[in-house]
Structure 1
């Protein structure tokens, strides 16, 4: 019996890349695609044959970790593999708390993804690359975030508005909005809630 896999990523080109990686593998059947966590949960509600969900960690509408929590609550038998660009141990710690079965860096989704799917389907975990993950400081450096941008992330994570941040830092509100725009571009995140998760995962708050 083939392993039924649901692919979840907000970028069509990534979905196509994952399909190309898994195409032709006799033990794996890609049985669905979703663009975000909400779509994934909707698909799962209408089916009972999906064995593995491969989730991007950063997506609009509903991110991968939130989706994973809901899947594990409602469908504990389904195995979850998270794909992430973030090479850091704090993500692994959060994933283990949720009960996620495996994780791969997006740069390692060739042969490793097939191996990960086969392994989690057999009841084992796939975190073999954890030893290659960088610590938080290196991760922040990777995004080339300036000190002021990091300061803005921290304040956003505390729930402050752009106007409140401007007053606190003695800068204009437009400057804060420019910082927010640049931060989202550099981190490839979509909204403030994802920035909060980013701050948590990077020990900024």
Structure 2
């Protein structure tokens, strides 16, 4: 019997790439695709899947929130999380949630197939954990400057761009430029995802 896999990523090109990788393995059947966590949960309410492959950063509902809800409603479903962030703090959070496996997006070739087989058999797949960095490397990894880190912390406190500008004695347009640059560097979509990222990386 084929392993039914649901793919979830907000980038269509990523899903197509994952489907191309998995199509080479006749034992695996990509039974569906979703572009955010809510679509994943809606799919699982009406369809069967053995394994869900989740991107961490998705709009509407991120991957970790989605994984928590899957664990609450669909305990039998195995979960693999794909992440761009090589941080041990992510592994710790995934283990708390009960996620079955994780690998970096840069390792989604042969490794993804092996991860699917492993978790489907009831085992975990965290083989890449030994290559994950400590949280202290986050700043250098994403080339975040001191001012950008300062702005991330103030955003986490709930300050608006105007309030941050007043606090730092800089123009509001400068704050907005920093915010755009931070999102570009971290490949995130909004402030909510940025704050979650900062929490997971130990920045705040």
Instruction: Note whether the superposition's TM-score is higher than 0.5.
Output: yes
Aligned residue in 2 for 1:24: 24
Could you say what secondary structure the match of 2:118 adopts? helix
State the partner residue of 1:169. 168
Native 8 Å contact 2:139 2:145 kept in 1: no
Q: Partner of 1:159 in structure 2?
A: 158
Distance in 2 (alpha carbons) for counterparts of 1:116 and 1:170: 50
* Displaced runs of 4 or more, over 3 A: none
Secondary structure of 1:150's aligned partner: helix
Give the secondary structure class of the aligned counterpart of 1:20.
Answer: helix
Contact 1:3-1:52 within 8 A present in 2 as well: yes
**Residue in 2 aligned with 1:61?**
60
Alignment RMSD: 1.0
Query: Using the alignment, how far apart are the partners of 1:164 and 1:101 within structure 2?
Result: 42
Other-structure match for 1:132:
131
Hey, what does 2:98 align to over in structure 1?
99
Scaled by the length of structure 1, what TM-score is found?
0.97
Deviations 1:77-133 (A, max 9, x none): 100000011001000011111100000101111111011001101111000100000
**Do the aligned partners of 2:8 and 2:15 also contact (CA within 8 Å) in 1?**
yes
Name structure 2 gaps, 5 residues minimum: none
The answer (yes or no) to whether the contact 1:149–1:179 under 8 Å persists in 2 is: yes
Q: How does 1:57-96 map to 2 (within 5 A)?
A: 57-96=56-95
- TM-superposed deviation, 1:146: 0.8
**Alpha-carbon distance between aligned partners in 2 of 1:140 and 1:67, rounded to the nearest angstrom:** 27
Deviation of 1:32 (Å): 0.1
1:5 maps to 5
**Counterpart for residue 42 of structure 2:** 42
Q: In the comparison of the two structures, how many residue pairs are matched?
A: 204
